[in-house]
């Protein structure tokens, strides 16, 4: 392939002399520079300004140390990766931000590989340069959760399926099966993309002909083998993630307007339209001499926009979380370049490059200013404002002052208990909502043998914790977290091993909902 179009396309000679030497002859170098900028800015900035990781990250850190396949919410690949990042670095401060940006950068790479196969190297780079203008690749990325863990899997599946369906050998089908199966461990909604991929495979004549060979079926066998442990565990925990989704759906319907989800998605795409306008790709120009092949464009629109549009339509009738669409816009840049790439020249590439780096640096800088101001000047207690290290230190101090053994379990108000256990050297387990169905690693015997530290906000004892406490003393500590807002009060109570309080056994036998 040449720098602009797939092999066989005609390129006017004067374009070759006008190519911007910094990017076009070496698009892989431009891609590497883009990924490096993304990683540096969005790792360093949140690590400097956030006192605690985002809420979903704290939860995944605590679940990751349990090494379970599945919780009542989701499969646990994100939790495993976070736990590995901690084991390698010993820190809860910055590895999660680096991990998140490695995931985003891997998505850039897979999108580039797909675009290179379809449009050529330079246009593939142009497609990736559009991605930082999308909201989903900027502001929310410090929160490494299941939605963002899916991103590279969605991009890789789209690339591998295209390669396999266009005549790739057995390796492509086996890789597709493996990546598809492992992608389910990031989040079950990866199955939505697989459904769209299966429909394309059956509807595209050239791809459908591949089904007459054994390789797609071997890939399917690999997929089923990879996904089987999840299916077994889902059955063992009585399909709790489906119950969680139903509850989440109900909450969204009650607390969000009918068009809220669609509005968030459209707002997240506005930056892309602005960059297209700035770069000059929206200007009028003659029709391309060799438009993108119809089957290629159909694949991009179907796989790149189909799932997002379907979820938007579904959101009119059911609840949809605003972050669910995060992995669904990976191919938007390729779609845009496939439609507008005939207008792409050296000047347009230069503007795309400038806009991409401005988006990354500018948005990360805005993140720093807004987060710091929100916590310290406005006094808004966001999840990243909590003094996580100090809370963990105090939790261990309270526990070891009352009990000689290690701190093994934390519970109470789950949001605060997660922070209490996060940085604790004893690496306690979280007793989610004091409900053993939601925290199956907690058992009655474990609580009797090791006890538990209860943690909650404020000085008063919540009614649901009275049966657990009995006459156990409570210590309330004030924590500074803002330059202007008053300290936040958090209470601790250590339930020693072997202590049986009135109502404790009843609480264990009848977990709260």
CB 439 within 8 Å of CB 431: yes
Tell me whether strands 488-495 and 475-479 are parallel, antiparallel or unpaired.
Answer: antiparallel
Q: For residues 450 and 405, is the Cβ–Cβ distance under 8 A?
A: yes
CB 221 within 8 A of CB 192: no
Q: In what order do the strands lie in the sheet with 475-479?
A: 429-430, 409-412, 452-457, 488-495, 475-479
Strand, helix or coil at 20?
coil
Q: What is the reported pLDDT for 5?
A: 40
The pLDDT score that the predictor gives to residue 16 is 39
Q: What pLDDT does 20 receive?
A: 45
Q: What is the pLDDT of residue 37?
A: 97
Given this model, what pLDDT does residue 286 score? Answer: 66
Give residue 506's pLDDT.
44
Helices marked H in 280-413 — which ranges?
A: 294-314, 332-340, 346-376, 388-402
Residue in 310, 306, 330 with CA at minimum distance from that of residue 320: 310
Residues with Cβ within 8 Å of residue 327, at least 6 apart in sequence: 147, 148, 150, 151, 153, 154, 155, 193
- Residues of 45-66 as b/e, b for ≥16 C-beta within 10 angstroms? bbbebbbbbbbbbbbbbbbbbb
d(CA 92, CA 90): 7
Angle at 471 between CA 466 and CA 474, to 5 degrees: 75
Phi, psi values for residue 350, rounded to 5°: -65, -45
Residue 472 tokens, joined: 């156990």
CA distances from 107 to 42, 191, 254, 463 (A): 15, 18, 34, 47
Burial string for 188-212 (b: 16+ CB within 10 Å, else e) reads bbbebbbebbeebbeebeebeebee
Q: Strand pairing partners for 70? A: 75
Q: What is the pLDDT of residue 503?
A: 44
Q: Report residue 18 as tokens.
A: 């006008």
Identify which of 416, 72, 64 has the alpha carbon closest to the alpha carbon of residue 248.
Answer: 72
Cα torsion angle, 479, 484, 486, 490, sign: negative
| Ramachandran quadrant class, 132 (left: phi over 0; alpha: psi -120 to 50; beta: rest) | alpha
Q: Cβ of 485: how many Cβ atoms within 10 Å?
A: 16
pLDDT one digit per residue (tens) for the chain, 513 residues: 334 444 333 344 343 344 344 556 789 999 999 999 999 999 999 999 999 999 899 999 999 999 999 999 999 999 999 999 999 999 998 999 999 999 999 999 999 999 999 999 999 999 999 999 999 999 999 999 999 999 999 999 999 999 999 988 899 999 999 999 999 999 999 999 999 999 999 999 999 999 999 999 999 999 999 999 999 999 999 999 988 888 888 888 888 888 889 999 999 999 999 999 999 999 876 665 557 889 999 999 999 999 999 999 999 888 887 788 889 999 999 999 999 988 898 999 999 999 999 999 999 999 999 999 999 999 999 999 999 999 999 999 999 999 998 999 999 999 999 999 999 999 999 999 999 999 999 999 999 999 999 999 998 999 989 888 888 999 999 999 999 999 999 999 999 998 664 444 444 444 443
The model's pTM? 0.91
* Cβ partners under 8 Å of residue 373, min gap 6: none
The Cα–Cα gap between 79 and 186 comes to 9
Handedness of CA 497, 503, 508, 509 (dihedral sign): positive
Q: What is the pLDDT of residue 317?
A: 87
Pick from 127, 132, 95: nearest CA to 110: 127
End-to-end CA distance of the chain: 59
Quick check: 452 and 354 in contact, CB under 8 A?
no
Q: What is the pLDDT of residue 290?
A: 59
């Amino acid at each position: 392939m040449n720098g602009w179009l797939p092999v066989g396309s005609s390129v006017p000679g004067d374009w070759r002399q006008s190519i911007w030497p910094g990017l076009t002859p070496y698009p892989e170098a431009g891609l590497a520079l883009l990924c490096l900028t993304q990683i540096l800015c969005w790792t360093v900035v949140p690590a400097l300004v956030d006192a605690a990781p985002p809420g979903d990250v704290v939860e995944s850190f605590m679940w990751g140390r349990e090494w379970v396949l599945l919780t009542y919410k989701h499969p646990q690949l994100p939790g495993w990766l976070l736990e590995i990042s901690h084991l390698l670095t010993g820190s809860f401060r910055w590895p999660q931000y680096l991990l998140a940006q490695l995931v985003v950068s891997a998505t850039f790479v897979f999108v580039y590989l797909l675009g290179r196969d379809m449009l050529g190297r330079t246009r593939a780079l142009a497609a990736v340069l559009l991605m930082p203008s999308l909201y989903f690749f900027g502001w929310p990325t410090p929160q490494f959760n299941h939605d963002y863990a899916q991103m590279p899997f969605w991009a890789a599946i789209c690339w591998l399926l295209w390669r396999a369906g266009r005549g790739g050998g057995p390796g492509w089908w086996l890789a597709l099966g493996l990546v598809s199966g492992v992608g389910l461990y990031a989040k079950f909604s990866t199955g939505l993309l697989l459904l769209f991929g299966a429909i394309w495979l059956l509807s595209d004549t050239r791809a459908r002909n591949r089904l007459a060979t054994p390789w797609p079926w071997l890939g399917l066998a690999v997929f089923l083998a990879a996904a089987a442990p999840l299916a077994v565990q889902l059955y063992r925990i009585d399909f709790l993630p489906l119950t969680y989704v139903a509850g989440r759906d109900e909450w969204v319907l009650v607390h969000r307007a009918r068009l809220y989800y669609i509005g968030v998605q459209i707002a997240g795409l506005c930056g892309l339209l602005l960059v297209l306008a700035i770069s000059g790709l929206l200007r009028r120009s003659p029709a391309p001499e060799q438009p993108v092949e119809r089957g290629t464009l159909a694949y991009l629109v179907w796989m790149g926009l189909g799932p997002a549009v379907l979820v938007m339509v579904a959101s009119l009738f059911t609840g949809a979380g605003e972050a669910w669409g995060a992995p669904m816009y990976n191919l938007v840049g390729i779609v845009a370049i496939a439609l507008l790439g005939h207008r792409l020249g050296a000047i347009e590439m230069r503007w795309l490059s400038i806009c991409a780096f401005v988006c990354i640096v500018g948005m990360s800088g805005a993140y720093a200013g807004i987060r710091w101001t929100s916590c310290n000047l406005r006094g808004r207690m966001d999840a990243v404002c909590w003094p996580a290290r100090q809370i963990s230190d105090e939790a261990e101090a309270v526990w070891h002052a009352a009990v000689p053994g290690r701190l093994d379990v934390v519970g109470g108000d789950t949001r605060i208990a997660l922070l209490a256990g996060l940085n604790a050297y004893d690496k306690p387990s979280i007793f989610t909502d004091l409900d053993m169905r939601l925290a199956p690693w907690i058992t009655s015997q474990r609580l009797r043998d090791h006890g538990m530290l209860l943690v909650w906000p404020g000085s008063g004892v919540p009614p649901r914790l009275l049966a657990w406490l009995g006459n156990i003393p409570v210590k309330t500590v004030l924590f500074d977290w803002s330059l202007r807002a008053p300290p936040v009060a958090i209470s601790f109570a250590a339930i020693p091993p072997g202590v049986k309080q009135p109502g404790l056994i009843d609480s264990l036998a009848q977990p709260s909902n």
